[in-house]
Structure 1
Amino acid sequence: MVRFLFRPAVIPAWSAALIVLLLALFPAEALEASVKGLSIWWQVLFPALFPFFVISELLLGFGIVHFFGTLLDPFMRPLFRLPGIGGFVVTMGYASGYPVGARLTAQLWEQGLINRAEGERLVAITTTSDPIFLIGAVSVGFFHNAALAPLLAAAHYGGALVIGLLMRFHDRNAPATAAIPAGTSGGPPGMRRSSRFARAVYAMHNARLLDGRPVGTLLQDSIQAALRLMIVVGGLVVFFSCIMALLTKTGAIGAMAGGVETILSVLGIPPALAEAVVNGLFEVTLGAKSAGAAAGSGLLHQAAIAAFVLSWAGLSVHAQVVSLLSRTDLRYRPFLLARLAHGLLAVLLVYALWPSLGPAS
């Protein structure tokens, strides 16, 4: 009986029951945390992400993805074992931050432009912070030190590219998708002998014709799809904000911080940064803010923990990515391992790059 109660399939049910119990015991704290999470979604995430979600939908409808796919194919395949359209997703993901890369990856999979292995590689590379958050919120807002931005950017984005190079060995026996997206392999006589740019333009034009939706319809569909996605993102942010408040109230967060303090002490990192690590495990904003507020820990160590939090991304972002990939056959485990590796690699890069990119003391 005891063995049955702790089967993996039963644990989520017990977890849900425990959350309901905590909500009944601490309703005021849960309400306050939910309002806080809703405020973060409405004031920060919605204006930051919604335009990118709409634009990404429009670019797919206009065939821009096929343009980049044909143009960048010779570069993406040798480096990352990805089709050229991966270059478009990397650019959009780095510019707009999580979870836009996962959203575009799911869309490409649904259109048959990438397979499972390529999708898992792509979402591992493109789950990054956006530059505005890294520079404006973390470096300036939390650390009050704009000179820290080049170091954090090099560790975060450089680490993501290294993860991309390592992920090329992921599922190495999986077949690659066709170099030219489906539906664009034909064309006028002599097109295959034309320049790659000309073939990219034709691929974009052909993809637009295959889509066929008028511009007004495409814009309406893009806004509706972006709104649906933003509601999911908002719900997850509110949920995890509430969960963290309940765990803090019960002392679970404090117990986790105690264990993290021991690990940090062994690694030679000030134990005062344990709270930042624990907060960052759940939510990236809270973790980065706690790292910046850990005065007396040393700016180098604070920056290293902030880089880990940005690269790990927090379970809140993990849940957003999982929800976006739920309609695909992409697995969570490769993404989880990539995020953990990215976080540890970012920490190492901060320590390695500090002498050259660290702020002048």
Structure 2
Amino acid sequence: MKNSRLLRSILPGIIVLFFITSIVVFPKDSIESARVGMNICINILIPSLLPFLIGANLLINLKVIDILGVFLEKPSRILFNVPGKSSLIFAISILSGYPIGSKLISNLRQDNEISRVEAQRLASFCSTSGPLFMVGSVGIGMFNNPKIGYFILLCHYIGALSIGILFRFYNTSSDIKHYNNTSILTRLKKIIFYENEEKSFFSIFGDSVRNGINTILIVCGFVIVFSVLFKILTLLKFINLISSMLFVFLHPYNISIEVIQAFISGLFEITIGCNNISLLNEPSLIFKIALCTFIISFSGISILAQCCNFLSLSDINIPIYIFGKFLHGINSFLFCYLLYPLFKNNLDIQTFNNSFYYNIYVDKIFTETPFNNNIFFIFILVVYILSYINNRYKKGFLRRF
């Protein structure tokens, strides 16, 4: 017992020391990979995720999710054995992608609006990728076929729903009977006229902006760190070492080492992995699609770290969450093969990968989006500063009394 505790306390320090030492040994490559991660944050993550983060926080603080959840209570209980507001969390997760679903679930649990078991069930299927990545980046940018992107999207979301249905049976012994005879109108009045804390809309908006900016900074930090980490592991031939070890076991099944290397890279970072898989010439198209779908559903170590960071702020069991994501990947992989015969004529075409085309496509999407306008970021910054000044003023005013 003492040895295991000692290992848990020392091992993280050893890993961090190794990481910092590697940055010193490979300064040029580390800076370049950090720059790549920074570009992803500035050109992709901030324009696409920040508006969703602010909007999602507003929906929660303005009780919109609670109001809509009243109407979705029975379907959500029947299908997933969770509160009605979970349907809205799933919808937001679908629209925005990782890791907003996990962030919202953690918020609900911290505010004690859902039980620990309900939060665990929600986390199993309300942590999904966004359609822009699957259709735009993977389908069009990597496979040059938007229909492949939509097919991956379909299998990914069906896989998530299947895990949600499976987890409805998780720890049912602790369930409380939620059904009551209270009318919908009575519950709506209770939500709308419940005055726990009087806040103006602008105060709520400022808090949502501040929360969204803090969240996006955390996400960007993870992206940059894992971008450098993956580069270091590649330079140290660690990825090749793992691939060679797995090749010994998978060689009898005619799986090449190139396939294994591409798959391993996807377990670290899904964009790199999906791009490497799409470049492969040897496997069949359905196998490449299924591998990409598994990687997107499992989400990779980089995104898992982001989601676990938010979930760890509550009492959600992290190992069970990771196991659920693994099952999500397996189910999505299987659904690709089950549904492929229905879509084969539309998907089975000549595909190619062109990194230049992919970069042009991604740049076009995120430079033409209205959220990339400088006025938007100036507006958000002004609201953030005014909200901060307002809160400091209130605290100083209250201390006088």
TM above 0.5, one fold?
yes
Q: 1:322 aligns with which of 298, 301, 308?
A: 308
Q: Which residue does the alignment assign to 2:100?
A: 100
Q: Map 1:298-337 onto structure 2 (within 5 A).
A: 298-337=284-323
Q: 1:216 aligns with which of 202, 206, 211?
A: 202
What SS does the aligned partner of 2:172 have?
Answer: coil
Q: Distance in 1 between matches of 2:332 and 2:139?
A: 16
Residue 90 of structure 1 aligns to which amino acid in structure 2? F
Contact 2:285/2:348, CA 8 A, preserved across alignment: no
Give the alignment's TM-score, normalised by structure 2: 0.81
Q: Which residue does the alignment assign to 1:186?
A: none
Cα deviations across residues 15-45 of structure 1 (Å, max 9, x unaligned)? 1121122122111111111111111111111
Q: Structure 1 residues 211, 103: closer, same or farther in 2, change over 3 A?
A: farther
Q: Structure 1 residues 266, 232: closer, same or farther in 2, change over 3 A?
A: farther
1:214 Cα shift? 1.0
Paired residue total? 346
Q: Which residue does the alignment assign to 2:229?
A: 243
Q: Any unmatched runs of 5+ in structure 2?
A: 350-401
Q: Map 1:229-268 onto structure 2 (within 5 A).
A: 229-267=215-253
Contact 1:59/1:65, CA 8 A, preserved across alignment: yes
Residue 294 of structure 1 aligns to which amino acid in structure 2? L
1:149 Cα shift? 2.5
User: Percent identity of the aligned residues?
Assistant: 25
Q: Distance in 1 between matches of 2:104 and 2:5?
A: 39
Q: Which residue does the alignment assign to 1:15?
A: 15
1:169 Cα shift? 2.1
Q: Distance in 2 between matches of 1:276 and 1:244?
A: 13
1:231 Cα shift? 0.5
Q: Any unmatched runs of 5+ in structure 1?
A: 181-190
Contact 2:266/2:273, CA 8 A, preserved across alignment: yes
Residue 286 of structure 2 aligns to which amino acid in structure 1? L
Q: Distance in 2 between matches of 1:73 and 1:103?
A: 21
Q: Map 1:123-202 onto structure 2 (within 5 A).
A: 123-176=123-176, 178=178, 192-193=182-183, 196=184, 198-199=185-186, 201-202=188-189
1:284 Cα shift? 1.3
Cα deviations across residues 53-103 of structure 1 (Å, max 9, x unaligned)? 000111012111111221111011121111111111111111111111111
Q: Which residue does the alignment assign to 2:193?
A: 206
Note the aligned Cα RMSD (angstroms). 2.3
Q: Structure 1 residues 263, 206: closer, same or farther in 2, change over 3 A?
A: farther
Q: Which residue does the alignment assign to 2:329?
A: 343
Q: 1:284 aligns with which of 249, 258, 270?
A: 270
Residue 64 of structure 1 aligns to which amino acid in structure 2? V
Cα deviations across residues 236-290 of structure 1 (Å, max 9, x unaligned)? 0000001001101111011122234445545555543222211111111111111
1:161 Cα shift? 0.7
Cα deviations across residues 170-202 of structure 1 (Å, max 9, x unaligned)? 22222348568xxxxxxxxxx944xx3x45643
More moved, 155-164 vs 319-328: 319-328
Give the alignment's TM-score, normalised by structure 1: 0.89
Matched, 1:83 2:69: no
Q: Structure 1 residues 239, 112: closer, same or farther in 2, change over 3 A?
A: same
Q: Distance in 1 between matches of 2:254 and 2:342?
A: 22
Q: Which residue does the alignment assign to 1:41?
A: 41
Q: Distance in 2 between matches of 1:128 and 1:192?
A: 33
Q: Structure 1 residues 6, 275: closer, same or farther in 2, change over 3 A?
A: farther
Q: Distance in 2 between matches of 1:244 and 1:298?
A: 27
Q: 2:260 aligns with which of 258, 265, 274?
A: 274
Contact 1:113/1:177, CA 8 A, preserved across alignment: no
Q: Distance in 1 between matches of 2:13 and 2:158?
A: 40
